[in-house]
Structure 1
Amino acid sequence: MTNLRVGDLVEVLSEAEILATLDDKGELDSLPFMPEMARFCGQRMTVHKVAHKVCDTIGHGRMRRMERAVHLTGARCDGQGHGGCQTACSLYFKEAWVRKVEPDTPHREPAPDPRLLPLLEINSRKAPGPEGEERFSCQATELHRAAPSCLPLKDVGQYVADVRTGNTGVLVTLRGLFFAAFNRYQKISRRLLPRWLWIRGGLSWGWVPGGATGSTPTGTLDLQPGELVRIKPKAEILRTLNQDRLNRGLGFEEEMARHCGRTARVVARVERCLDERTGEMLRMKNPCIALEEVVCGGVYSVNCPREFVPFWREIWLERINES
């Protein structure tokens, strides 16, 4: 467990100091230091979340244990070293890549190290796919290696760590534990109990059922960055989903439903993102929308600090005319 807490002021090490911590794969404890992270070297930043656990988006949504890592405020991947991926993941910084400083500590101007970026760029690529397609390696694709052990719901230490590090307060931690326990019961009941004993149809808390069979509707607003939109009510969005809660391949989940009715500005039109399982670049037939400061809060995943940026179909949004 890291000794850092939320709000601590840290300084990202220089390129030469970072390089000294990395193996020939550009990794520390199997976690890559990526080309997109080099721009933060020498900067002073605050700890946004302590990344002692992470939800598994490659496997089956279980929680995994991460050792000695933090997320820093404002440090998200811009995808420039990975084919322009637009997932905007919150970057992981190992404790060994930062140093805690006091506000009045003199700031150093670290010199760049010409050896670092070539190492990172080489290791940001995987061997080509079966048909020669380009494949990438990043912190998300290497999640299982960087966080190899699962973190069971009964592990009390994770909840103590959430409070001790400042990730969450006591009440928020207890709320997250309640939701996780309830959802675990719902999953068991769907498998073992007759349907008439299911609570609200066996749905997870947040209540997002599947929709109708057949193709799902689409809508086009041609939204552009900077425009103000409102997320439609959940009932309207549910009518656009199929039985797997997908609209033309894009999922709508309980965490996203928490934002229904909220207004936000468009930050990007998302046209490409990496497949975390294969490292291949996925190009979207129908662009999605990313919204400013709308992230997954981990409410239904025991307060996972990863804070994913959800993607939205334009049919789930409505433009607000500010004039």
Structure 2
Amino acid sequence: MNFKVGDLVEVRSEAEILATLDERGELDGLPFMPEMLPYCGKRLTVHKVAHKLCDTQTRTGLRRMERAVHLTGARCDGSAHGGCQTACSMYWKEDWLKPVTDAPTTSPQDSRLLPLLEINTRKPPAEDGGERYSCQATELLRAAPSCLPFTSVGQYVTDVRSGNVGLGRTVQGVAIGLFNRLQHLARRVLPRRLWLKDGLPWGFLKGRLTGKTPTMTLDLRPGELVRVKSKEEILATLNGDMLNRGMGFEQEMARYCGRTARVQARVERCLDEKTGELLHMKNPCIVLEEVVCVGVHSLNCPREFVPFWREIWLERVPAGRE
């Protein structure tokens, strides 16, 4: 690990990056995507050291990533992937970056790089002939093939040394992780009457509905100020799987209950990480400004997902009550 949070780095030139990539436009299984090209030659700050990540495809827990970082303000705009609006924080291998020096640098372009990247944004078509995409999110299990166990103490040392989180957040994350593992064990070996808080993980969220979940249309637009409803109000819209019309609500999102934020965008398209198919939402979701998953409930995973919000979980803040 050569970089830490707060380091100023320069993204290497197209020619330098091309020299690190294989025929699939990848380094160690991680694609360099067309959306990353505008950053070549730019100077950015390390936001997080991406030494681990949540496995959102097979739900196996954390995975180990080698020599990669997230950069401040560098999120994927989906322009080469059907307009996907997931806004993932992109992974940058350290080989694609260099420390900033006082000497000015040049950023020579290479006409071979973009065609290579564009070709590799596509997977073979689905059975119905539908288009499928390949991106960093769909290929993360190849880029991070090793599971990172809870008992691996080194990850917590790296969290602190890299500047990802402080000691307090590290202790908090470990405590929540330990509690959740004890809850899982209790559900396996103890009779239900002995379960603490119904055996739920920390946060103790439980949807209340058994039938069809409700919906609401507010027609929210970017710039509008909204308040996230209370935890109790949101739980009343969820089924036993913590879903509302197929959209999940998680413990990390519950931390924002009662807070206000501005609408950043309406989300209508996102990639299915497992299949690479571009999904079109029947009911658009909302993305809120500066609202991300900070990993408190996932051992301080630095991936920082942007949560999707159903409009029924939000309420407008009337003018003059900001």
Normalising by the residue count of structure 1, what TM-score does the alignment of the two structures yield? 0.98
Structure 1 match to 2:278: 281
Distance 1:212 1:271 in 2: 25
**1:61 Cα shift?**
4.6
Is 1:259 the counterpart of 2:217 in the alignment? no
**Identity, % of aligned pairs?**
69
1:201 to 198, 205, 208: 198
2:130 to 129, 133, 136: 133
**1:322 Cα shift?**
2.7
Is 1:86 the counterpart of 2:85 in the alignment? yes
| Equivalent residue runs for 1:197-236 within 5 Å | 197-236=194-233
Is 1:191 the counterpart of 2:188 in the alignment? yes
Distance 2:83 2:319 in 1: 31
Q: Secondary structure at the match of 2:147?
A: coil
**1:109 Cα shift?**
3.5
Q: Contact 1:179 / 1:300 at 8 angstroms: preserved in 2?
A: yes
Distance 1:251 1:266 in 2: 19
Structure 1 match to 2:25: 26
Structure 1 match to 2:51: 52
For residues 93-118 of structure 1, the C-alpha deviation after alignment (integer angstroms, 9 at most, x for no partner) is 0000000124xx13323122111111
**1:287 Cα shift?**
0.2
Structure 2 match to 1:111: 108
Structure 2 match to 1:10: 9
Is 1:100 the counterpart of 2:99 in the alignment? yes
Distance 1:8 1:198 in 2: 46
Which AA in structure 2 matches 1:266? V
Structure 2 unaligned blocks of 5 or more: none
**1:192 Cα shift?**
1.4
Q: Contact 1:56 / 1:62 at 8 angstroms: preserved in 2?
A: yes
Which AA in structure 2 matches 1:20? A
Structure 2 match to 1:35: 34
Q: Contact 1:218 / 1:315 at 8 angstroms: preserved in 2?
A: yes
**1:191 Cα shift?**
1.5
1:297 to 294, 297, 300: 294
Structure 1 unaligned blocks of 5 or more: none
Q: Secondary structure at the match of 1:114?
A: coil
For residues 167-210 of structure 1, the C-alpha deviation after alignment (integer angstroms, 9 at most, x for no partner) is 11111101100100100111111121111111111111011112
Q: Secondary structure at the match of 1:46?
A: strand
Which AA in structure 1 matches 2:249? F
For residues 114-151 of structure 1, the C-alpha deviation after alignment (integer angstroms, 9 at most, x for no partner) is 11111100001000000100000000100110000000
Structure 1 match to 2:310: 313
Q: Contact 1:180 / 1:302 at 8 angstroms: preserved in 2?
A: yes
Which AA in structure 1 matches 2:269? R
Question: How many pairs were matched up?
Answer: 320
**1:321 Cα shift?**
2.5
Distance 2:104 2:157 in 1: 34
Distance 2:104 2:65 in 1: 30
Q: Secondary structure at the match of 1:80?
A: coil
Which AA in structure 2 matches 1:122? I
Q: Secondary structure at the match of 1:269?
A: strand
Give the root-mean-square deviation of aligned CA atoms. 0.8
Q: Contact 1:179 / 1:205 at 8 angstroms: preserved in 2?
A: yes
Q: Secondary structure at the match of 1:150?
A: strand
Q: Contact 1:211 / 1:244 at 8 angstroms: preserved in 2?
A: no
For residues 192-238 of structure 1, the C-alpha deviation after alignment (integer angstroms, 9 at most, x for no partner) is 11111111111110111122100011111000111111100110000
Structure 1 match to 2:69: 70
Is 1:123 the counterpart of 2:120 in the alignment? yes
Normalising by the residue count of structure 2, what TM-score does the alignment of the two structures yield? 0.98
Which AA in structure 2 matches 1:128? P
**1:158 Cα shift?**
0.3
For residues 60-95 of structure 1, the C-alpha deviation after alignment (integer angstroms, 9 at most, x for no partner) is 150000000000000000000100000000000000
Distance 1:187 1:107 in 2: 55
